[in-house]
């Protein structure tokens, strides 16, 4: 199982659980997350959701490199269309959602965290959008990034593929809090509980509105990303970048 | 005797509008809304007014938000009109072709926060906080969400709207949500000075720039008002806002006894 979902009192903790791959997003993790969130949303005993990553090194490093190597110009658009439901499953939650981020949140992992309501990190949290370094267009992530960071920082992050350190993330509003690793879940739960006592109709209508104001931009970005993916994968660049990375790590 | 909800005073060329309900934390009542809207719309046309400063009476609050006694009368039928009229007040700030500053003499919550963010500059003292407590009161955060997101980014708009927490002045300054923190006794004077400095700039260029920025955000502003009308109606049809308000009033009565 790529996603572990367990109850901690009234909070459902959903753990991205592929620690050997830095919790990278493959089809199993994607579908596991969608299923876990649908179950948590439907369960009346669940009052909030915390997302985290297993292993203490990463929340999620982004798109899985084996996925990148296996796609081609014909199959890549479908993969990106599949990410629509992955992010939507977070965006449509009516319950509080907090990301507990110890380590790297990059690419798809960064974006999943940005669609949560609040983010708690540690000193070793690093966040960013390294799609270009991986041979892919930075297209979907720019929707939440623009709303959080403005144009100049979104351009810089997208084009340099650099990751921001925890302090910079806090200043930029990408993290709401930095805490010690052994207090991460406790602080994430406290953040969630700031929201669980709110009147449920007002809370869920506000969350629906939050998703609504970026809905058309998000939908359009998925289409754009699918189009860019067909072009990128036709060049072989993403597959080569993933293979080179795996070779450096001795895992090819 | 009914004292005016809005006090008007000219400091030379700068019009100071004071929300004057200090015993109610300068809460937004019908008379405050009507008085402020009228004074701001008139200020746009007045030759003797070069700029406007908004502030609140007393040391505690600029404005603590919606008056809860008047909110008792809100219903699914009336809430839409309330938000349209509130939109007209905010538009009177953002579309005023002269500089508008807010002298934050105390807390700015809900309406107080939003009116501040529609202005051009904000000066506070170290004890000021801002919050968007609508959701806790059973009111979806729609218009506040928009203006916070436009001014200081969506993540902070989500944080403020969903946790309803009060943000201290120092944090607001780091966010560029306020322009300066000064001693409490200097807040009004510093705001007037800054508005006057803006008013001394070439007037046509200032007005054209401000109007152009208002035009660029006009579609979003109008869509937000329509969304507020729709979503608040939805909330009030469930009865939740009325129930939360009734519970709050009952708790307040119990404290008085």
> Which ipTM score applies to this complex?
0.96
- E strand or H helix that includes residue B102: strand B100-104
Q: Which residues of A touch B146 (CB under 8 A)?
A: 213
Contact (CB, 8 A) for A43 and A93:
no
The answer to whether the CB atoms of A203 and B238 lie below 8 A apart is no
The answer to whether the CB atoms of B136 and A199 lie below 8 A apart is yes
- In total, the C-beta contacts within 8 angstroms joining chain A to chain B are 96
pLDDT of residue A249: 81
B141 CA: distance to closest CA in chain A (Å):
6
Taking CA atoms, A55 is separated from A93, A102, A181, in Å, by 26, 9, 12
The answer to whether the CB atoms of B146 and A213 lie below 8 A apart is yes
Q: What is the pLDDT along chain B (257 residues), one digit of tens a residue?
A: 357 999 999 999 999 999 999 999 999 999 999 999 999 999 999 999 999 999 999 999 999 999 988 988 899 999 999 999 999 999 999 999 999 999 999 999 999 999 999 999 999 999 999 999 999 999 999 999 999 999 999 999 999 999 999 999 999 999 999 999 999 999 999 999 999 999 999 999 999 999 999 999 999 999 999 999 999 999 999 999 999 999 988 998 898 87
B79 CA: distance to closest CA in chain A (Å):
14
Q: Measured in whole angstroms, how far is the alpha carbon of residue A201 from the centre of its chain?
A: 26
- Nearest residue to A36 via CA among A85, A3, A68, A83: A3
Q: Which residues of B touch A147 (CB under 8 A)?
A: 149, 153-155
Option in B138, B156, B159 nearest A202 (CB): B138
- Confidence band, pLDDT 50/70/90 cuts, at residue A251: low
B residues 157-216 lying closer than 8 A (beta carbon) to A:
157-159, 161-165, 174-175
User: At a CB cut-off of 8 Å and minimum separation 6, what does B154 contact?
Assistant: A144, A147, A148, A210, A213, A214
Q: Terminus-to-terminus CA distance in chain B, angstroms?
A: 27
pLDDT of residue B1: 38
* A118 → chain B, closest CA residue: B159
Option in B139, B158, B244 nearest A117 (CB): B158
Select from 3.90.226.10, 3.10.20.30, 3.40.50.150, 3.40.50.2300 the CATH code of B6-212.
3.90.226.10
B11 touches chain A (CB under 8 A): no
d(CA A108, CA A114): 10
User: Strand B129-131 relative to strand B107-109: parallel, antiparallel, unpaired?
Assistant: parallel
Which tokens sit at A19? Answer: 């620690």
Q: Which residues of B touch A96 (CB under 8 A)?
A: 162
- E strand or H helix that includes residue A146: helix A142-149
d(CA A103, CA A121): 8
Option in A176, A195, A202 nearest B140 (CB): A202
Option in B138, B156, B161 nearest A199 (CB): B138
pLDDT of residue B2: 55
Select from 1.20.1280.290, 3.40.640.10, 3.90.226.10, 3.20.20.210 the CATH code of A3-196.
3.90.226.10
- Nearest residue to A52 via CA among A88, A83, A12, A85: A12
User: Strand A97-101 relative to strand A48-53: parallel, antiparallel, unpaired?
Assistant: parallel
pLDDT of residue A252 exceeding 80: no
B residues 118-137 lying closer than 8 A (beta carbon) to A:
134-137
B219 CA: distance to closest CA in chain A (Å):
13
Q: What is the pLDDT of residues A126-177, one digit of tens each?
A: 999 999 999 989 999 999 999 999 999 999 999 999 999 999 999 999 999 9
pLDDT of residue B142: 98
pLDDT of residue B81: 96
- Nearest residue to B249 via CA among B109, B132, B137, B108: B137
Domain boundaries, chain B: 6-212
| Angle, CA B224 vertex, CA B218 and CA B225 arms, to 5° | 95
B247 CA: distance to closest CA in chain A (Å):
12
The top-scoring range by mean pLDDT among A232-236, A244-248, B153-157 is B153-157
The answer to whether the CB atoms of A199 and B240 lie below 8 A apart is yes
Q: What mean pLDDT is reported for chain A?
A: 96
Domain boundaries, chain A: 3-196
Contact (CB, 8 A) for B104 and B58:
no
d(CA A188, CA B92): 41
| 3-class SS string, B16-27 | EEEECCHHHCCC
The answer to whether the CB atoms of A194 and B231 lie below 8 A apart is no
């Amino acid at each position: 199982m790529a996603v572990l979902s367990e109850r901690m009192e009234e909070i459902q903790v959903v753990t991205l659980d592929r620690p050997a791959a830095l919790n990278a997003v493959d089809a199993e993790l994607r579908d596991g997350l969608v299923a876990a969130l649908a179950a948590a949303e439907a369960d009346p005993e669940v009052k909030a959701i915390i997302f985290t990553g297993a292993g203490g090194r990463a929340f999620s490093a982004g798109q899985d490199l084996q996925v990148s190597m296996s796609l081609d110009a014909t199959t890549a658009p479908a993969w990106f269309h599949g990410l629509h439901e992955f992010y939507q499953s977070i965006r449509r939650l009516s319950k509080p959602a907090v990301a507990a981020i110890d380590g790297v949140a990059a690419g798809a992992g960064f974006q999943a965290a940005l669609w949560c309501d609040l983010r708690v990190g540690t000193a070793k949290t690093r966040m960013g959008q390294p799609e270009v370094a991986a041979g892919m267009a930075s297209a979907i992530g720019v929707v939440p990034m623009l709303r959080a960071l403005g144009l100049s920082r979104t351009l810089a992050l997208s084009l340099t593929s650099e990751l921001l350190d925890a302090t910079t993330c806090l200043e930029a509003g990408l993290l709401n809090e930095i805490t010690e690793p052994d207090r991460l879940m406790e602080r994430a739960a406290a953040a969630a509980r700031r929201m669980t006592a709110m009147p449920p109709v007002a809370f869920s209508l506000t969350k629906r509105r939050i998703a609504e104001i970026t809905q058309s931009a998000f939908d359009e970005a998925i289409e754009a990303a699918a189009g860019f993916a067909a072009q990128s994968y036709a060049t072989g660049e993403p597959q080569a970048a993933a293979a080179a990375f795996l070779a450096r790590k001795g895992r090819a | 005797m009914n004292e005016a909800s809005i006090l008007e005073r000219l400091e030379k060329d700068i019009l100071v509008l004071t929300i004057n309900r200090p015993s109610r934390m300068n809460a937004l009542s019908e008379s405050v809304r009507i008085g402020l809207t009228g004074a701001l719309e008139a200020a746009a046309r007045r030759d003797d007014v070069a700029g406007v400063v908004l502030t609140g009476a007393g040391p505690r609050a600029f404005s603590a938000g919606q008056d809860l006694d008047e909110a008792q009368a809100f219903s699914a039928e009336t809430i839409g009109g309330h938000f349209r009229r509130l939109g007209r007040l905010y538009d009177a700030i953002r579309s005023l072709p002269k500089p508008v500053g807010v002298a934050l003499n105390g807390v700015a919550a809900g309406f107080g926060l939003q009116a501040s963010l529609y202005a051009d500059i904000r000066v506070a003292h170290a004890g000021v906080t801002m919050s968007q407590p609508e959701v806790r009161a059973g009111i979806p955060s729609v218009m506040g969400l928009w203006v916070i997101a436009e001014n200081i980014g969506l993540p902070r708009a989500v944080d403020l709207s969903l946790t309803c927490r009060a943000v201290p002045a120092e944090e607001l300054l780091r966010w560029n949500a306020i322009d300066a923190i000064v001693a409490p006794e200097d807040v009004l004077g510093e705001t007037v000075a800054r508005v006057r400095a803006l008013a001394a700039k070439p007037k046509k260029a200032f007005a054209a720039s401000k109007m152009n920025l208002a035009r660029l955000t006009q579609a979003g502003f109008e869509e937000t008002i329509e969304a507020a009308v729709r979503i608040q109606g939805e909330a009030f049809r469930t009865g939740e806002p009325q129930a939360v308000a009734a519970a709050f009033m009952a708790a307040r009565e119990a404290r008085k006894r």
